[in-house]
Chain A
Amino acid sequence: DQQVKQNSPSLSVQEGRISILNCDYTNSMFDYFLWYKKYPAEGPTFLISISSIKDKNEDGRFTVFLNKSAKHLSLHIVPSQPGDSAVYFCAASARTSGSRLTFGEGTQLTVNP
């Protein structure tokens, strides 16, 4: 039962353009969502998060949008840079489950110079 899904295994964009990574979830108990970035041979690093009481959160070039009715969130990166090339994981947490995170399968983003 995959409760968090990232349907695009890979995404390729040109430097300077927008990257949009998508994530869907099925568990309505999830109330906090996070995006992590992972480079090869490193652990995931926290990027940005959003609480279910909000529909948007911005941090510099990164914006996360949450559509609760559709159980969908997206990460926008503008402008994209070659250093953004990495695997991006969407993760979700439910208050009732403490700090356990449920991850999606990841999307490999490649930003071409």
Chain B
Amino acid sequence: QKEVEQNSGPLSVPEGAIASLNCTYSDRGSQSFFWYRQYSGKSPELIMSIYSNGDKEDGRFTAQLNKASQYVSLLIRDSQPSDSATYLCAASSLYQLTFGKGTKLSVIP
């Protein structure tokens, strides 16, 4: 059974701070990892993908992957109220995504 675990939160951070979101996955065969943002009542929107160990930066977002520890994280720098959403971590194996339950992030102005 493939599983992706995330802390459901809510995670509250003040505006301008760094938000740190984490997830772990069970399937060592997973090759690619994705972070999706989901606003309330909306569908998931892809924000980051990562395939290799280490860090990948895109604007205010940094994804980190450690395959040995089966651990993926997402850092959001200079958090804005518009970042308030649920963040879904997904692991891909054979072109299929397994999602975590998501972490709800609230950025307090």
Q: Do A and B bind each other?
A: no
A residues near B, CB below 8 A?
Answer: none
